[in-house]
Structure 1
Amino acid sequence: MPNFRPGLSGQLCARMVSMSRTSKITMMVVCDLLALPACFLIAMILRGGDLQLARSFGPASYALVTVVTIAAFSVSELYRAVIRFIDQRLLSFTGAALAFAILCVYIVLMVMNEPRFPRSALAIYWFVVFSYVVISRIGLRNLLRAQAGRRTARSDAVAVYGAGDAGASLVQAMRHSDEYRPVCFFDDKRALNERTIAGLRVFDTVRLADVVKSQGIRSIVIALPTAPPERLRDIMQRLGQAGVAVKILSRLVDLHDDRPPGRGSIRELRFEDLLGRPPVPPRLDLFARCVRSKNVLVTGAGGSIGSELCRQIVTLSPQELHLLDHSEYALYTVRQELCARFPALAIHAHLGSVCNGDLVERILREGKIKTVYHAAAYKHVPLVETNIVEGLRNNVLGAQVVASAAARHQVETCVLISSDKAVRPTNIMGASKRIAELIFQAASVRHGAQTTFCMVRFGNVLGSSGSVIPLFQRQIARGGPLTITHPEVSRYFMLIAEAAQLVIQAGAMAKGGDVFVLDMGEPVKIVDLARTMIAMSGLTERTPQNPRGDIEIQFVGLFPGEKLHEELLTEGTVFPSEHPRIMRMKESALRPSVLETCITCLMMACETHERGTIESMVKAIVAEYVPTSPIAPPDIVVDAPAPSLIKKFVPFRI
């Protein structure tokens, strides 16, 4: 029940609201029984000019007109309406029902040829009664709303960004809410500056900071349902300078001028709103082709991408789902989640490393696996760069084990999850993913007749464990600073759901040896993303121009092996796929026998723990690899390459 102000009117409103529905209807009918005869009397006086005409009709006529009118009110459902939320539509329907009832009376009088009753009095009666209904119902509605509108302390002053139709509808709906108290509009259109829309002033965005401070605005709701992501990102950065929380109107269909905003119609701004492009929807005919009624294995099932893959797969009716991960906690967590959602599905969790050939062979053999999604990999560039031996062993050897086992057990489809860092790599992580791609390409050449091998190349995945988003969230929670390697660094971004859907669809479209890449629009500058996240948190950036800001952004320099700008495509040939937003590539590859020898030599080089030797062997396999000068960790000594091993590697350079 709304919180009313103490006083006679407040007590009266509170009592009316607390009455039972039957009591409210009874009270309205009683009031109408008293008021409608008076309306008929007024209509007769207006028609005749005095009381003489009104006196010529007895009580039966007044009672008959009152009964007909109340019947019309009942048909229009006027008595079923909640007075606080009564609207123009209901009043219009009531007026139409009353007009129809009066028309029926008029026809009856004509048929009966009643000479005494003036026909024009019926039209006057309609105007008098409709005026009574509007005045009584709207007056009571406004009284109830005025009392309910005495906001409690928790009702925050909000502004609406966008003074169009959506913004006006939002303000009307907010007026019935105890959560929001709209105070003004902001809009970029100069023609609307200082105008009044829906009872609120419109201010130009150049006055944003001053108006927010003077009006005590706590949050701003963006009411631009059709705004493209690029504009949303620009708006967010401007609103961030005002230091207010920002929300977005996402469901215009939920707004009504007679009720509070629906649940979900106003929500927090999410990262996917700022991608700079609309999300890529999956093609349903491709989605389940490699999953439905099949036994599926996901390696790295406890990771960000692996776990989302599993969530998507369980909705596509697989026969069995097998999970493989070396992290006990991650494997336990994802299995518990999936079993809770789909208790009837057979879900098998396997604890161990993807480099364990015997384990992978046993899973494929005993599980009769038909589809493999290979997501297990080390992907954090700085960690892999300072732990190159383990990074190469896990990413390269793991891919080799999975590809060999998949071919041996005649798996139908085997999909590798790769990275944009595999394109002209400058770090060991990217080079290891490119070698994994080469392994799957070689497997496709050798075993393509029985197993379809393909690769999917990702950009940065928003919200994944390796994404910059969780890092910025933790840094903001600590009060900053936000650390960025370089002011010009930019990355492609995609959603976790998009990444998982891309993997599943790629397997359905693959013909063997394909590399699939999602059209991810334009890259996003990381510094812009950082400023947007500060604004989304209701904070301001601390700069020399704004020394009292909340969060500082610091540039710490590029990490070893880090690029300013990532790439998704090489000079390979690009083909369209069955999905309009997914590209297929064919890239150059090494002969399977040469690649196998090179990988054997690479694993031998890893045994030496000599960085120069290892990098030389990586370069022999991935000619585009151009390492930067890394910072050697304390436990690894970087020495000159061993001459004997260098001589071995020379013949395998491409």
Structure 2
Amino acid sequence: MLDLEKKSILITGGTGSLGKALTNHILNKYPTVKKLVIFSRDEQKQFQMAQEYPFQDYPQVRFFIGDIRDYDRVKRALKGIDYVIHAAAMKHVPIAEYNPMECVKTNILGAENIINACLETDVQRVVALSTDKAAAPINLYGATKLASDKLFVAANNITGWNPIKFSVVRYGNVMGSNGSVIPFFLEKKKDGVLPITDPSMTRFNISLQGGVDMVMHALENAWGGEIFVPKIPSYKITDVAEAIGPECEKPVIGIRPGEKIHEEMITSSDSYYTYDLGKYYTILPATHKWNKEDFIKEFNAKRVEPGFQYNSGENDNWESVEDLRKHIKTHVDPTFEI
């Protein structure tokens, strides 16, 4: 079992939806954690989050203004840190398409800064957050996150004597996260119109707690270089609209630049390196410093069939309209009427 007692943890992008959920989880489950550093560049969000975790009640929490593009600042922040959870990213698809180099600087060069700074300090484990859009990407955001994934996986090859382990978690839409479709529809419901991009569109669905659990699983169990993928349900965008506003108009407006109809998390090309761990899949690195047979035995891992792919449109697990309503009330808006 993961023991965070007397450990120091840093979360990049710590003021985001998942960063805040991770902070809450860690402080509740591991109250003796030595230090929890919230690293982000948004001073207003840091100010607001600091009101929730005042120093007199949470002396182990530190708020550290910084940008992952700034190597020196990253390295300074990592002094004395044991574990890093890398959640900082530019993630909005249309914004990334319009501002491509800004996305590259944050998602790729920022990842490189995290890796190099971790190798130069005493960090023991790093878990980087990915996205389903990194699998067979068609937009810049997905392409930068694929590059980021590759950097973190390959980082294990240059550690030398350093026992540090880098791993990645990849999952779909986090229910209720900033900028996601459910909060957007809840807001648009007030106008009586829920715009549908494409009636056949599907997405994977995971709760914030599910995302947190995945990160903690990787932090505890990674051997170095794995990309962990959860087994989660899909939903149809039309069912989300029906769950939130059955009485609303639902005009079809067409997909945005860089969007897919269905998302993938494991491509058929990935299948040759993919193993079923029970609750999760894992894509193993092509080269690794550990014995694969030992890994298979340790986790009772079963290799998937060649050509296997994990696609939101071909999932065998689906959220119903009623399921979605219950999830929205539980995970997004307690005032939502079922």
Category of TM-score, reference length = shorter chain: 0.7 to 0.9
Query: In the aligned structure 2, how far is the partner of 1:467 from the partner of 1:554?
Result: 19
For the residue of structure 2 that corresponds to 1:555, the secondary structure is: coil
Give the structure 2 partner of residue 346 of structure 1: 60
For the residue of structure 1 that corresponds to 2:54, the secondary structure is: helix
Shift, 1:587, TM fit: 4.5
The one of 195, 201, 226 aligned to 1:514: 226
Query: Is this contact kept in 2: 1:301–1:307, CA < 8 A?
Result: yes
Listed as ranges, the matches of 1:144-543 within 5 Å are 285=1, 288-289=2-3, 291-315=4-28, 316-317=30-31, 318-339=33-54, 343-365=57-79, 368-447=80-159, 449-477=162-190, 479-521=191-233, 523-535=234-246, 540=247
For the residue of structure 2 that corresponds to 1:302, the secondary structure is: coil
Q: When the two structures are superposed, what TM-score results if normalisation uses the length of structure 2?
A: 0.80
Give the structure 2 partner of residue 565 of structure 1: 262
Query: In the aligned structure 2, how far is the partner of 1:482 from the partner of 1:332?
Result: 33
Give the structure 2 partner of residue 7 of structure 1: none
Listed as ranges, the matches of 1:39-188 within 5 Å are none
Shift, 1:344, TM fit: 4.4
Q: Which amino acid aligns with 1:321?
A: L
For the residue of structure 1 that corresponds to 2:254, the secondary structure is: coil
Query: In the aligned structure 2, how far is the partner of 1:459 from the partner of 1:467?
Result: 11
Q: Which amino acid aligns with 1:533?
A: I
Query: Is this contact kept in 2: 1:308–1:500, CA < 8 A?
Result: yes
Shift, 1:313, TM fit: 1.4
For the residue of structure 2 that corresponds to 1:493, the secondary structure is: strand
Query: In the aligned structure 2, how far is the partner of 1:505 from the partner of 1:345?
Result: 26
Query: In the aligned structure 1, how far is the partner of 2:285 from the partner of 2:237?
Result: 29
Q: When the two structures are superposed, what TM-score results if normalisation uses the length of structure 1?
A: 0.42
Query: Is this contact kept in 2: 1:301–1:334, CA < 8 A?
Result: no
Task: Extract unaligned runs of 5+ from structure 2.
Answer: 288-338
For the residue of structure 1 that corresponds to 2:249, the secondary structure is: strand
Query: Is this contact kept in 1: 2:66–2:74, CA < 8 A?
Result: no
Query: In the aligned structure 2, how far is the partner of 1:471 from the partner of 1:584?
Result: 31
Query: Is this contact kept in 2: 1:411–1:450, CA < 8 A?
Result: no
Deviations 1:590-623 (A, max 9, x none): xxxxxxxxxxxxxxxxxxxxxxxxxxxxxxxxxx
Query: Is this contact kept in 2: 1:460–1:493, CA < 8 A?
Result: yes
Shift, 1:447, TM fit: 1.0
Query: In the aligned structure 1, how far is the partner of 2:210 from the partner of 2:216?
Result: 10
Q: Which amino acid aligns with 1:312?
A: H
Shift, 1:557, TM fit: 0.8
The structure with higher relative contact order (CA 8 Å, sep 6+) is 2
Query: Is this contact kept in 1: 2:166–2:224, CA < 8 A?
Result: yes
Deviations 1:486-525 (A, max 9, x none): 010100010011111211111111000100011103x211
Query: Is this contact kept in 2: 1:319–1:345, CA < 8 A?
Result: no
Query: In the aligned structure 2, how far is the partner of 1:328 from the partner of 1:554?
Result: 38
Query: In the aligned structure 2, how far is the partner of 1:339 from the partner of 1:585?
Result: 40
Task: Give the fraction of aligned pairs with identical amino acids, expressed as a percent.
Answer: 33
Query: In the aligned structure 2, how far is the partner of 1:484 from the partner of 1:444?
Result: 42
Give the structure 2 partner of residue 630 of structure 1: none
Deviations 1:223-264 (A, max 9, x none): xxxxxxxxxxxxxxxxxxxxxxxxxxxxxxxxxxxxxxxxxx
Query: Is this contact kept in 2: 1:302–1:333, CA < 8 A?
Result: no
Alignment length (residue pairs): 281
Query: In the aligned structure 2, how far is the partner of 1:389 from the partner of 1:313?
Result: 34
Query: In the aligned structure 1, how far is the partner of 2:193 from the partner of 2:38?
Result: 38
Shift, 1:293, TM fit: 2.1
Listed as ranges, the matches of 1:585-600 within 5 Å are 585-588=283-286
Q: After TM superposition, what 4+ stretches of structure 1 lie above 4 angstroms from structure 2?
A: none
Query: In the aligned structure 2, how far is the partner of 1:354 from the partner of 1:564?
Result: 32
